[in-house]
Amino acid sequence: MAFRTTHELHHRRMSRNLGLGLVLVALVALVFGLTMVKVQELAQDDAFRSGAVAQSKGSMW
Amino acid sequence: MTDATYQQPSREAGFGDYIALLKPRVMSLVVFTALVGLLVAPVSVHPVVGFAAILFIAIGGGAAGALNMWWDADIDAVMRRTARRPIPAGRIEPGEALGFGLALSVFSVVMLGLATNLLAGALLAFTIFFYVVIYSMWLKRSTPQNIVIGGAAGAFPPMIGWAAATGSVSVEAVLMVALIFMWTPPHFWALALFMKSDYHDAQVPMLTVTHGRAATRRHVLIYTLLLAPVAMALAFTSIGGPVYLVAAAVMNGWFLWGAWRIWRRDEGVAQADNYRVEKDVFRFSLLYLFVHFGALLADAALRATGVI
C-alpha cells in the first residue's frame, strides 16, 4: 500500500506554520521600523537640546 | 507492546482558528475607537509608532477575547450563536487557548509600553484584567448588571489610543470612554431581547432572564436617556466640532426614538413581527457608535486643514 504523504492534517499544519512565519517576519519588520523611528526621535531631541543650550549661551553675551 | 493502535487524527486547528480566538469582529471596534482616540489627540505621533500602538492595542483586545473564550467555553458550547467557536467545536484545547491568551496579553502590554509610554501599557493591562477577571470570571455569571459594568472593558480603547499619543488622560478621553460605556447596555439588551433562548439555556443572568422582558425594555430606554447627554457633551470639548454636533444630535434622537418604541411594545407584539424593532435598534446601535467616532475623526480632519 502506498504511503500517503499528504493529508488534510498536513494542509492545516502548513497553513498554521505559514501564517506564524509571516507573522514573525512582520513582527521583525515592525520592531525594526520602531527602532529606526525611536533613534531618529532621540537624535532630533539631542539636536534640539544642543541648539537650545547654544542659543542660551549666546544670549548671555 | 507489539500491537499497533490507530488513532483517528483530531481536527487540528488551522491558522484561522487562532485568529477566531481573537474575536476579530470585536477587535474591529477596538481598532476603530483606539485609532480615533489616537488621531484626535492634540499630540501627533509618528505613523510607524501610531500603527504599532493600534496593532498592540488590537492584539491586547484579541488576547482578552481568547482568555474570555477559554473561561466561557462551557457557556459557548450551549449557546447557538457561539457553539462553533474553536474551543467548543473541539479544534483548540482549552489549555492552548489559555496559553495563547496569556502570552499575547503580556506581549501586547510590554510592546505597547515600549513603543509609546508606560501609561498606555498600564491602561491596556487594566483593560485585559477588567474584561477577563472582573467581567468574564466574576460579573457575567453572578449579576444581571454584568453588561453594565463589563462594558467598561470595551470602552477603554479610545483612552488607550489617546494616552499612547499624549502620555496622559484628559476629559476628552474620559468622555469617549463614557460614550461606549453608556452605549453598551442598550446595545446588548436589544440583542438579548431577540436572542432570548441562548442566554436562558446557558443560564447567564441576563436582565431578560432575571428581571423579565418588560424590565429589560425599560432599562434600554433609561440607559439610552443617560447616554444622550454624555454623547452631546463630547461636542463641547476640544475634540468636538460642527460635524460631531450634528451627527450626535441626529443619532441620539434616532436612538431615543428606537428605545422608546422598544419600551412601548409588549412581548406579544414583538413576537408577532419577529422582534423587528429590537433587531432594527440593535443594528442601528452599531451604526450609532461608528458615526460618533467617525464624526470626531471628521472634525479632527477639518481642524488639521484649517477649515474650523
Residue B5, pLDDT > 50, answer no
B157-194 tens-digit pLDDT: 999 999 999 999 999 999 999 999 999 999 999 998 98
Nearest to B172 by CA among B219, B224, B230, B222: B230
Residue B10 has pLDDT above 60, yes or no: no
Distance CA B176, CA B266 (A): 33
Question: With helix as H, strand as E and coil as C, how does chain B read?
Answer: CCCCCCCCCCCCCCHHHHHHHCCHHHHHHHHHHHHHHHHHCCCCCCHHHHHHHHHHHHHHHHHHHHHHHHHCHHHHHHCCCCCCCCCCCCCCCHHHHHHHHHHHHHHHHHHHHHHCCHHHHHHHHHHHHHHHHHHHHHHCCCCCCHHHHHHHHHHCHHHHHHHHHHCCCCHHHHHHHHHHHHHHHHHHHHHHHHCHHHHHHCCCCCHHHHCHHHHHHHHHHHHHHHHHHHHHHHCCCCCCCHHHHHHHHHHHHHHHHHHHHHHHCCHHHHHHCCCHHHHHHHHHHHHHHHHHHHHHHHHHHHHHCCCC
Flag whether pLDDT at A56 surpasses 80: no
ipTM comes to: 0.78
pLDDT at B153: 87
pLDDT average, residue stretch A1-28:
83
Q: What is the pLDDT of residues B184-202, one digit of tens each?
A: 999 999 998 988 677 777 7
Which one of A7, A34, A38, A42 makes the best mutation probe of the B interface by having the most chain B beta carbons within 10 Å? A34
Residue B268 pLDDT > 60, yes or no?
yes
Q: Nearest chain B Cα to A10, which residue?
A: B12
Measured between CB atoms, which of B9, B13, B51 is closest to A16?
B13
B134 versus A46: the higher-pLDDT residue is: B134
Mean pLDDT of chain B: 92
pLDDT, residue B6, reads 44
CA distance A54 to chain B (A): 27
User: Which pLDDT tens digit goes with each residue over B274-303?
Assistant: 999 999 999 999 999 999 999 999 999 999
